[in-house]
Amino acid sequence: MIETKRRVLRTAIALAALGAATLAAPAAAQQYPSKPVRMIVGFPPGGGTDVVARVISQRLSDWWGQGVVVENRAGATGTIGADVVAKSPADGYTLLMGHVNSHAIAPNLFKLPYDPLKDFAPVSYVGYVPNVLVVHPAVPARTMKELIALAKSKPGQLHYASSGSGSTQHLAGEMFKQLAGVDIVHVPYKGSGQAIGDLLAGVVTMNFDTMPPVLDHIKGGRLRALAISTPQRIAQLPDVPTFAEEGMSGFDVTNWYGVMAPGGTPKEVVAKLNADINKAMKEPDVRARLEQVGTQLRETRPDEFEAFMKAELAKYAKLVKDANIRLE
């Protein structure tokens, strides 16, 4: 009889604890955030990822009445910052402005200290910055088709620059080689600045860089843009055709950004973050600032962002394997 009463008591205590835990999650989400939030950026200040993070963080700070502090943890193509977030408490107070390098390209090239899917809770895709195929004005090709014909007539003699092995520019060049059936030589640099400098000097033939660092050079006539990796033409470069318009379907290499939290972050907190970030991107001044640096915005649910990340991992795994890419 006594043992039966003990079992009943233990069951009652367990049920009470379960009920308390069930109620705690929504309550925690309602109170979130009750202290400052860190937004980790895996790149130096001033770059595209940093700008996007700061614009969104400032708007969230205004709404929440809590600081959203951008913290730059640069290095190893964004993977150092990603690792910081992967190992942080899953409470929503440490976020990552994720990037294609840290979550789609690097996992296929390096042995990383984190799992790009299991160690993160996708919150919201923000957008992407397109890559632009640019050549030195002295290159005798005014269209992408003419450039491909030139490359085929001079196999192994044309060079494309990148900001480093394993960068999006490197992967873009390898995808171009595959789709166009040309033999062009990769020349890696220690960043876009050096790569563009040599392109402007005519040391290399072409680059597949993101729009922000080449836009002024294109408008100033110092570089010639032949194609852009967007589905449609964009307002910043209305006269530049897309790769698809030039007859190259399937060219899809872009620098994308998305907010992530550590894996295991409560779904209610993720849902609030997703709703507020999507709301921020609808604000006219926020949109204007992000579009000014070439960001093509897109709102998603967390599950849609997760599906996108999986697809990107698979896409770059195939590209790395098919192109037999090795770090130089």
Please compute the mean of the pLDDT values over residues 146-151 and round it to a whole number.
98
Q: How far is CA 306 from CA 87, 121, 230, 258, in A?
A: 19, 8, 21, 10
Among 107-111, 255-259, 290-294, the range scoring the smallest mean pLDDT is 290-294
- 3-class DSSP assignment, residue 97: strand
Assigned domain for 307 exists: yes
> Using 50, 70 and 90 to split pLDDT, how confident is the model at 4?
low
pTM of the model: 0.81
Q: Which helix (H) or strand (E) holds 234?
A: none
- 3-class DSSP assignment, residue 27: helix
> Using 50, 70 and 90 to split pLDDT, how confident is the model at 2?
low
Q: Does residue 160 sit in the same domain as residue 184?
A: yes
Judge whether residue 46 has pLDDT over 90: no
Number of domain units in the chain: 2
Q: Does residue 143 sit in the same domain as residue 193?
A: yes
The residue out of 213, 228, 243 marking a domain boundary is 228
Contact 121, 302 (CB under 8 A): yes
Please give the share of the chain, as a percent, with pLDDT higher than 90: 67
> Using 50, 70 and 90 to split pLDDT, how confident is the model at 212?
confident
| pLDDT for residue 24 | 46
Q: Which residues, listed in sequence order, are joined to residue 129 by a DSSP beta bridge?
A: 255
| pLDDT for residue 100 | 93
Q: Does residue 38 sit in the same domain as residue 62?
A: yes
For residue 216, what are the domain limits?
130-228
Assigned domain for 33 exists: yes
Q: Does residue 153 sit in the same domain as residue 123?
A: no
Q: Does residue 266 sit in the same domain as residue 191?
A: no
First to last CA, the chain: 75
What mean pLDDT is reported for the chain?
Answer: 89
Look up residue 263 and give its two tokens: 């894996």
Judge whether residue 20 has pLDDT over 60: no
CATH number, residue 303: 3.40.190.150
Judge whether residue 138 has pLDDT over 70: yes
Q: How far is CA 124 from CA 31, 95, 99, 316, in A?
A: 20, 11, 12, 21
| pLDDT for residue 99 | 92
